[in-house]
């Protein structure tokens, strides 16, 4: 697992070095934190964007996750990034590659878990894409918002500081309302409040 993480970090660093953000861009923060930050001109809020994949046999297994759990987890991963930066979700997008083994009931249950969490957290599904494949894969994009300049950044953390995104989100109530419904709903398993 450590080797996989190291490889991912190396790849991420290479991509980051290749990216060039134009001068005057409204993109305030790109690769390297939980979300990208986009600042609309004249706006009172910064927009947060995050994307996360959910892959069969990597992030979930059919033997241990119900279809509803998988759908819930697919969205929870992105919601946790929005929460970590002190934001509130606005909407989400879902691109789903449906495996050939999945029948209509499994797909319906997947969407039931996904949409229940979307409704509970105020992050309605606004669109996406569908495809057929051999193993389930999906990519979820979540857009959130935070008062202008009030995002909680990783660079603001101190060495040995505990990382507790849910409690930090509540501590950020000075900048955004802390919805206990959002915090409780965004656990990766429907019966759990685990962060990752």
Give me the percent of the chain exceeding a pLDDT of 70: 77
| pLDDT reported for residue 53 | 93
Whether the Cβ atoms of residue 20 and residue 30 lie closer than 8 Å to each other: no
Do residues 45 and 28 lie in contact, with contact meaning Cβ atoms separated by under 8 Å? no
Q: Determine the Cα–Cα distance for residues 130 and 137; give it in Å rounded to an integer.
A: 10
| Domain 34-152+162-185: which CATH number of 3.40.50.740, 3.40.640.10, 3.30.1330.10, 3.30.460.10 | 3.30.1330.10
Q: What is the 3-state secondary structure (H, E, C) of 119-164?
A: HHHCCCEEEEEEEEECCCEEEEEEEEEEECCCCCCHHHCCCCCCCC
Question: CB atoms < 10 A from the CB of 68, how many?
Answer: 19
The neighbouring-strand residues paired with 146 are: 46
Residues 176-186 have a mean pLDDT of: 45
CB 152 within 8 A of CB 172: yes
Higher pLDDT: 53 or 2? It is: 53
- CA 183 – CA 135 distance, rounded (Å): 30
Q: What is the pLDDT of residues 57-106, one digit of tens each?
A: 888 888 899 999 999 999 999 999 999 999 999 999 999 999 999 999 99
pTM: 0.76
Q: Retrieve residue 140's tokens.
A: 């979820």
Poorest-confidence range of 6-10, 82-86, 159-163? 159-163
Q: Which two tokens stand for residue 157?
A: 């953390």
pLDDT over threshold 70, residue 185? no
Instruction: Read off the DSSP letter of residue 14.
Output: H
């Amino acid at each position: 697992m450590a080797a996989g993480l190291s490889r991912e970090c190396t790849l991420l660093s290479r991509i980051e070095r290749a990216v060039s953000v134009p001068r005057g861009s409204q993109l305030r923060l790109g690769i390297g934190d939980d979300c990208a930050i986009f600042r609309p001109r004249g706006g009172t809020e910064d927009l947060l964007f995050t994307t996360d994949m959910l892959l069969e046999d990597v992030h979930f297994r059919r033997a241990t996750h119900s279809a509803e759990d998988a759908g819930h987890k697919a969205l929870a991963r992105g919601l946790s990034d929005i929460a970590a930066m002190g934001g509130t979700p606005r909407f989400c997008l879902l691109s789903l590659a449906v495996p050939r083994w999945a029948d209509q009931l499994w797909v319906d249950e997947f969407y039931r878990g996904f949409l229940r969490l979307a409704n509970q957290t105020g992050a309605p599904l606004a669109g996406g894409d569908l495809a057929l494949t051999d193993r389930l894969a999906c990519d979820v994009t979540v857009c959130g918002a935070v008062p202008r300049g009030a995002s909680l950044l990783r660079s603001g953390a101190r060495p040995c500081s505990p990382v507790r995104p849910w409690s930090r989100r509540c501590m950020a109530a000075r900048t955004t309302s802390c919805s206990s419904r959002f915090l409780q709903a965004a656990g990766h398993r429907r019966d759990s409040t685990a962060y990752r």
